[in-house]
Amino acid sequence: MLLVLLVVVVLNFLMLHLAPGDIADTIAQTMGGADEQDMAELRKQYGLDQPFFIQLFNYVVRVALLDFGHSHFYNLPVFDLIMERFPATLLLVFSAQILSLFVGILLGVYAAQNPNGLSSLFVNMFSLFGYAAPVFWTGILLLIAFSLHIPIFPVSGMRDITIESGNFFVHFFDVLRHLFLPMITLASIFFAYYSRLCRASMLEVLGADFVRTAKAKGLSKKDVLLKHALKNSLSPVITFAGLSFSAVVSGAILVETVYSWPGLGTLAFNSIISRDTPVLLGILIFSTLMVTVGNLLTDLTLKALDPRIKI
């Protein structure tokens, strides 16, 4: 895992350096132009006059010490900036992932009971919509619906700053209310995948010999379905959920932009616009971290689910 992080740090650094122009150009631009001497001064200040490998080495060492540099745009340490936004993204990503897993599995199990019936068709259509609709489009539609027609959920931000109560629960429910739409939007793509996958793997498992054994034991339909079949059909779904974790993270960036959710997505968007390299590098590292942790969680869940898996 540490190795993955190191490789990502190095690759990110390489990629951003391959792009023409550097921070000095950007700063000069925002200052309204600079002469050669000022440019050299700036480059020296940011260590850009050093040979490439020294820059890389310095960067890696600093990252290892949790020093991600300084944002010239926000004029704040990158680490502080990210830490301020990170919990919001984490909340969005995990809640969307859990919601889509829950709904997807529920729909999948439901559809598998009667694979050729109306309910199965309905679930299939529903997932087809989830696949097909781009997440920002779903987001904008929901945004219009809930801001103009049924204004029960707030459509932007994460907190209502007019709340003055010091009660924890008041704030908690306020965040939940704000979370609702972005979470649904982000989850809408993935529950489609999960429900299709869960349906397929449920259907396969329902034909297995041990399901016949469970029925032969005289267990009720519910026990056969939810105890014996479901547990066995979960592993492909969980595996896929782990693999799509990175897609959820990148989807979050779009969703955050649509709903002005104060997470890493909006920060990333702004830093790309303003060529804020240190912030961008920091965000990349944090999303890598999130994806690797997500994969680790997947492996651990699979291990807990299936005693045959050894890590």
Which of 44, 62, 231, 303: binder of other proteins (CB under 8 A)? Answer: 231
Specify whether the CB–CB gap between 159 and 171 falls below 8 A: yes
Map tokens 């240190």 to a residue: 278
> Whose Cβ is closer to other proteins: residue 232's or residue 277's?
232
User: Looking at 47-55, 94-102, 219-227, 292-300, which segment touches other proteins (CB under 8 A)?
Assistant: 219-227
Site for other proteins in 178-217 (CB under 8 A): 208-210, 212-217
- What angle is formed at CA 12 by the lines to CA 36 and CA 292, rounded to 5 degrees? 155
The piece of 10-18, 132-140, 228-236, 283-291 that touches other proteins (CB under 8 A) is 228-236
Nearer to other proteins, 289 or 302 (CB): 302
Radius of gyration of the chain (CA): 24
Q: Does 35 sit near other proteins (CB under 8 A)?
A: no
Q: By CB under 8 A, how many residues form the interface with other proteins?
A: 20
Structure-token pair, residue 127: 């997932």
Closest to other proteins by CB, 78 or 225: 225
Alpha carbons 11 and 271: distance in angstroms, whole number = 19
What stretches of the chain adopt beta strand conformation (E)?
70-71, 76-77
Of positions 185, 201, 232, 244, contacts other proteins by CB under 8 A: 232
Amino acid letter, 159 = R
Whose Cβ is closer to other proteins: residue 173's or residue 210's? 210
Q: In the complex, what is the shortest distance from the CB of residue 207 to other proteins, in angstroms, rounded to a whole number?
A: 9
Binding track, positions 263-302, relative to other proteins; x by CB under 8 A:
----------------------------------------
> By CB under 8 A, is residue 62 in contact with other proteins?
no
Q: Which of 29, 30, 45, 220 binds other proteins (CB under 8 A)?
A: 220
**Which residues, other chains included, contact 45 with Cβ-Cβ below 8 Å and sequence gap of 6+?**
none
Q: Do residues 198 and 156 touch, judged by C-beta distance below 8 A? A: no
Kindly state the smallest distance separating residue 203's Cβ from other proteins, in Å: 13
Q: Rank residues 197 and 224 by Cβ distance to other proteins and give the closer one.
A: 224
Contact call for residues 95 and 179 (beta carbons, < 8 A): yes
User: How much of the chain is in helix, strand and coil states, percent to nearest 5?
Assistant: 75, 0, 20
Residue with smaller CB distance to other proteins, 166 or 218: 218
Could you tell me which residues come within 8 angstroms of residue 202 by beta carbon, excluding any fewer than 6 positions away? 108, 109, 112, 229, 230, 233
Using CB under 8 A as the criterion, what x/- string covers residues 110-139 for binding other proteins?
------------------------------
Amino acid 272 reads I
Query: Would you say 101 or 214 has its CB closer to other proteins?
Result: 214
Dihedral sign for Cα 187, 193, 196, 199, please.
negative
| Alpha-carbon gap, residue 98 to 306, rounded angstroms | 20
Residues forming contacts to other proteins in the complex (CB under 8 A) are 208-210, 212-221, 228, 231-232, 305-308
